[in-house]
Amino acid sequence: MIWCDRNIVRSPIYFGLCTSAEMFHKELKKLKIPKNDWPPFISNDWSDATCHHLHGSEGSKVAIVCIREMKNHSGIGIAALLVHEAVHIWQAIKDSIGENNPSSEFEAYSIQKISLGLMDQYSQQVTPC
């Protein structure tokens, strides 16, 4: 017997985290986004993070969360910020799959999974203070 993959829904949107403008620009180049169309790393001066929704060179949908250096923030504050950005990714996924009224459990598990991915990436990219 061969066990089947247990994943029921696969995200139609690729998502990831950039912790520097240099990293973000490298990804924009990989996605073949024309330089004139590059959004700013963070959308404004008062935000600590931004979720960019883009299309890759082959039409793939991409969400890139960019987060500033957060040396003066607690781990809990950073986690909360990443959850906030995860909700934006979830909203785009939900729209993309035509899910107008997801169950509360589907929504909660989805946001948890996205948040965990962003937090894992953050912990791999940023050295603890």
Half-sphere exposure of 90 (CA within 13 A, CB side): 23
pLDDT band at residue 58, thresholds of 50, 70 and 90?
Answer: confident
Strand spans (E) along the chain = 13-18, 49-55, 61-67
Alpha-carbon distance of 66 to 89, in angstroms, equals 12
Looking at residue 78, what is its pLDDT? Answer: 95
20 token code pair: 């520097």
Q: What is the pLDDT of residues 98-121, one digit of tens each?
A: 999 999 999 999 999 999 999 999
User: What local confidence, expressed as pLDDT, does residue 128 receive?
Assistant: 61
Domains of the chain: residue spans and CATH? 13-125 (3.40.220)
Please report, for residues 12, 88, 101, 109, 111, the alpha-carbon distance to residue 104 in angstroms, rounded to integers and kept in the order given. Answer: 20, 16, 9, 9, 11
**5-54 confidence digits (pLDDT tens):** 888 788 999 999 999 999 999 999 999 999 999 999 999 999 999 999 99
Give the predicted TM-score (pTM) of the model: 0.90
